[in-house]
Amino acid sequence: MLFIFIHSFKRMKLSGKMITFIISTAIFIGLLIWLPEDIPWSAKATISIMIYGILLWAFESLPLGMTSVFMMILLLFLHAVPIDVALSGFGSPAVFLIVAGMMIAKGVNETLLMNRITYMLFAKWGSSAKGIFIGVFLLMQLQAFFIPATAVRSSLIVPVVLSVLQSVGAKKGSNFSKLMLVGTAYAGNISGTAILTAAIGNILTIEILQLYVGKSLSYLDWFVYAFPVWILLIVIIPYIVWKCFPPEDFSFHILHKQMKQKKEDLGGLSNSELKCIIILSITVLLWMTQPIHGYHPTVPALMAVVLMALPRIGFVKWKKIVSVNFDLVLLIGATLSLGFALIDSGAIELLEELITSENLINIFANPWLAILMVILISQIYHLGVTNVSTAVVTLLPVLISLSLQAGIDPVVVSFTSAITILFGYLLIVETMPNVVVHGTGMINQRDFYLPGLLSTLASTLITLFVAFTWWRWLGFWP
């Protein structure tokens, strides 16, 4: 009998994810019970569900998509908000922009275009570790113009990096492996800085600004204000990673020769590649000229998807590009729905009263301190709320409220917070590029600490420098 009991106990041994799920659930129930009785039920339920969702998304106790559906069920089951509010996030243009972005990536991947660009870069710079490292870093930045979502870009480039490591015989634990993989993660993180459509956090920021203050930034506005930050990061972040992981002396002769041969074997541009380049160029042109025609970035993205699959005009079958990562779609829709629920239930007003204070408002009233505070708050908050989408949707409303009370521009505050949240250098779970490269099994969490600390400091100083020079010259910041 004792043997059976012990055997059963072993079989029931709780996994780490189950433990975090139980703890998160206990916190959720505790909030429902112990939040003050004078708080209206809808606000109390919404706040509890939001914190529950943050915990589940942060610890990934459940798959991201499952947590997203679970949060919507709770909003409805507990009568926190009406059904049209609970599902309203899925009517947002941001969801369709992400869907279109993933479909565009599928279409591009059906051609040899990315292979051709990769072989061209490696054929030119692939004779040394530095050349390959810089080539991969720049390739990730180039992808940002055409492929929305850092997760998609990282998933496309990591197999290339692994192939390089295998070709030169770099093993797990080698400096060159760490250099290439950590560098790829950081390249993915900063690749969305200046391109509005290149990161989910950027897209959500535009939606939140429109929702809360009725203002927004165009694709061109975002690019102009963030461009100096992006350029400085492209120069400084690779330098930091290189200094942290000086590579061993591998021979790149064979790899360089292979890349040249593969480039030559591809021959001239195929018909499908030419069509892909034309469609992508038209899409980017429409994004850049948004202030002229007024179309939301989702419109050109959806148009690109249709053109890619349109008979005779396109180059890929619809069935090839229609399969997307539905977990990501559910995540974006659910986080936006939570944002709408916070407003509808009155929970956002309670959270603002809880978080804001007279001292904090006085600090925000000083433009020189406001940007620094926004950066520090965003960095610290993102360490706890690791999911970028959740961090943006839950933090920006509070920062918008603070900025309005302090009499400063909420657009600048939101923009600063959004790009800061992209720069998740320290923890694996902070960004999807970090998660993707860690999933290779070639690097560990400790490999992120030193370059992460230095990169965080560098990003902070760069953003402050640009804010008090470039932004002031353009009249974006007082």
pLDDT tens for 167-219 read 888 888 899 999 999 999 999 999 999 999 888 889 889 988 988 888 889 99
pLDDT score at 438: 85
Q: Rounded CA gap, 393 and 418, in Å?
A: 10
Q: What helix, strand, coil percent values describe the chain, rounded to 5?
A: 75, 0, 25
Co-location of 73 and 99 in the same domain? no
Residues 97 and 165 in one domain: yes
Q: 444 vs 72, 98, 319, 452, CA distance in Å?
A: 34, 29, 37, 13
Give the up-direction half-sphere exposure of residue 248: CA atoms within 13 A in the CB hemisphere: 14
* Domain membership of residue 40 as a residue range: 15-80
65-124 confidence digits (pLDDT tens): 899 899 999 999 999 999 999 998 888 888 888 888 888 888 988 898 888 888 888 888
Token pair 């900025």: residue: 403
Residue pair 86/337 in contact by the 8 Å Cβ criterion: yes
Residue 392 inside a domain? The answer is no
**Whether 142 contacts 301, CB under 8 Å:** no
Beta-strand (E) ranges in 38-155?
none
Question: Structure tokens of 345?
Answer: 């239930």
Q: In terms of domains, do 204 and 295 share one? A: yes
Please name the residues in contact with 299: beta carbons below 8 A apart, sequence gap of 6 or more. Answer: 286
Distances 377 to 52, 97, 166, 418 between C-alpha atoms, Å = 21, 28, 41, 12
CA-based nearest residue to 206, from 421, 411, 68, 400: 411
What is the spatial distance between Cα 411 and Cα 217, in angstroms, rounded to a whole number?
8
Task: Output the CA torsion sign for 106, 111, 115, 117.
Answer: negative
Q: Is 216 found in the same domain as 111?
A: yes
Query: Does one domain contain both 100 and 208?
Result: yes
Domain count, the chain: 2
Domain shared by 233 and 284, yes or no: yes
* Residues 53 and 101 grouped into a single domain: no
Q: Pseudo-torsion of CA 66, 70, 71, 73, nearest 10°?
A: 140
For residue 14, the model assigns a pLDDT of 58
Q: Could you tell me if residue 39 is left (phi over 0), alpha (psi between -120 and 50 degrees) or otherwise beta?
A: beta
The answer to whether residues 196 and 284 belong to one domain is yes
Residues 76 and 209 in one domain: no
**pLDDT attached to residue 231:** 97
Looking at residue 439, what is its pLDDT?
82
On whether residue 361 sits in a domain, the answer given is no
Same domain? For 252 and 207 the reply is yes
Closest-CA residue to 200 (of 150, 236, 237, 241): 150
- Check if the beta carbon of residue 448 is closer than 8 Å to that of residue 178: no
Write out residues in the chain with pLDDT < 50, as ranges. Answer: 1-13
